[in-house]
Copies of this chain bind each other. A is one copy, B any other.
Amino acid sequence: MAGDVFVHPNALNESESIGRGTRIWAFAHIMRGAVVRTDCNIGDHSFIESGADVGNGVTIKNGVCIWEGVKIEDFVFIGPGVMFTNDRYPRSPRAPVAQERYSKKENWLLPTLIREGASIGAKAVILAGVTIGRYATVAAGALVARNVPDFSLVAGNPAVAIGHVCMCGHPLPASLECISCDRVYEKIDGQLRLRGEEGAAE
């Protein structure tokens, strides 16, 4: 996956797993072993750690950190300053009281999954262990401590559901008919899905 990748002269890319068409901007740092697929945009001052996994067509704005254990599916939007985490009870691994815990990754590393097309607003924080559903939106500044269903809109600290959003990004009215595009949704077993699309929301 080496050809046709743009790496800004002030960026630092150590990964050999960057897909075609992906652009990496100034002062960003991609570590060896990080995977970033095709046609992504990695903003200034971002950091992608060994073991992180980023899909196709993902937009990562400035100053984002993506750690080992975080998997981001295709077409996700990660706003500026968004922070992921991979440890629920952190201590300094250099502290004597914490050295046993940090001797094995399974003691502390919790995975996070951001599903296709989701958007995470500026400066939101995503706690380790969470899954954010397809085309869900996390509002700017939110602190997400629990899973977010497909097409859900969450906001606040801690984040709570405040509505639904369309695949196109626009909030949905109670009728579940998007006023910005022509998509219509229905609620089945408490979960939103596109009307007429079998299992679209799974």
Chain B residues positioned under 8 Å from A158 (CB to CB) = 155-156
Selected from B44, B77, B92, the residue in CB contact (under 8 A) with A76 is B92
Does any Cβ of B come within 8 Å of A63's Cβ?
Answer: yes
Chain B residues positioned under 8 Å from A122 (CB to CB) = 83-85, 125
A76 to B124, CA, bound (A): 24
Given contacts A90-B79, A140-B125, A143-B140, contact A65 B65 (CB under 8 A): no
Selected from B61, B94, B135, the residue in CB contact (under 8 A) with A59 is B94
Secondary structure dominating the interface of A: loop
Does any Cβ of B come within 8 Å of A58's Cβ?
Answer: yes
Copies in the complex: 3
A122 to B137, CA, bound (A): 20
Chain A interface size range? 35 or more
Chain B residues positioned under 8 Å from A75 (CB to CB) = 91-92, 94-98
Chain B residues positioned under 8 Å from A147 (CB to CB) = none
Selected from B27, B57, B61, B170, the residue in CB contact (under 8 A) with A45 is B27
Given contacts A59-B94, A80-B65, A83-B80, contact A47 B47 (CB under 8 A): no
A80 to B123, CA, bound (A): 12
Check A91 against B168 for contact (C-beta < 8 Å).
yes
Chosen A-B contacts, 6 in total, with CB atoms closer than 8 Å, are A26-B29, A57-B95, A75-B94, A89-B119, A90-B169, A123-B123
Q: Which residues on A are within 8 Å of B, measured CB to CB?
A: 10, 12, 26-27, 29, 39-41, 44-45, 47, 56-59, 61-63, 65, 74-77, 79-81, 83-85, 89-98, 101, 117, 119, 121-123, 125, 127, 135, 137, 140-141, 143, 155-158, 165, 167-171
